[in-house]
Amino acid sequence: MVDVASLVPSTRDFLQAVATRKKRLVLVPLVDRVDDAVTLAAAGVTAFAVASPGALMRAVSDATGAAPILSLAPVASADEALLARASGADAVVVAPVSEPSRWNSLAKDAVSTRMAALALVVDGASANFAATTTARGAYLRTEAATSLLPLVQKLGSLRTVAQVPSADETALRALRGVVDAAIVESDLYLSTSFETLREELDP
Per-chain mean pLDDT for the chain: 94
In a domain, 200, yes or no: no
In a domain, 63, yes or no: yes
Mean pLDDT of 159-181: 95
pLDDT digits (tens, 9 = 90+) for 4-48: 667 889 999 999 999 999 999 999 999 999 999 999 999 999 999
Domain count, the chain: 1
CATH number at residue 148: 3.20.20.70
In a domain, 2, yes or no: no
In a domain, 19, yes or no: yes
In a domain, 4, yes or no: no
In a domain, 6, yes or no: no
Question: At residue 1, does pLDDT exceed 70?
Answer: no
pLDDT digits (tens, 9 = 90+) for 129-152: 999 999 999 999 999 888 999 999
pLDDT digits (tens, 9 = 90+) for 79-128: 999 999 999 999 999 999 989 999 999 999 999 999 999 999 999 999 99
Mean pLDDT of 172-197: 96
* Exposure string for 35-61, b = 16+ CB within 10 A, e = fewer: ebbbebbeeebbbbbbeebbebbbbbb
Question: At residue 3, does pLDDT exceed 90?
Answer: no
Q: CA of 30: how far to CAs of 27, 98, 103, 199, in Å?
A: 10, 29, 25, 18
Rounded CA-CA distance 166/163 in Å is 9
In a domain, 122, yes or no: yes
Rounded CA-CA distance 100/82 in Å is 20
Domain that holds residue 63: 11-195
Cα dihedral 27, 74, 16, 40 in deg (nearest 10): -40
Q: CA of 51: how far to CAs of 70, 73, 89, 163, in Å?
A: 8, 6, 11, 12
Strand order in the sheet with 26-29: 26-29, 181-184, 159-163, 137-141, 116-121, 91-94, 69-75, 48-50
User: What is the reported pTM?
Assistant: 0.95
Q: DSSP characters for 19-81?
A: --TTSS-EEEEB-S-HHHHHHHHHTT---EEESSSSHHHHHHHHHSTT--EEEEEEE-SHHHH
Q: CA of 194: how far to CAs of 19, 92, 117, 203, in Å?
A: 21, 26, 28, 13
Predicted local distance difference test score (pLDDT) of residue 12 = 97
In a domain, 5, yes or no: no
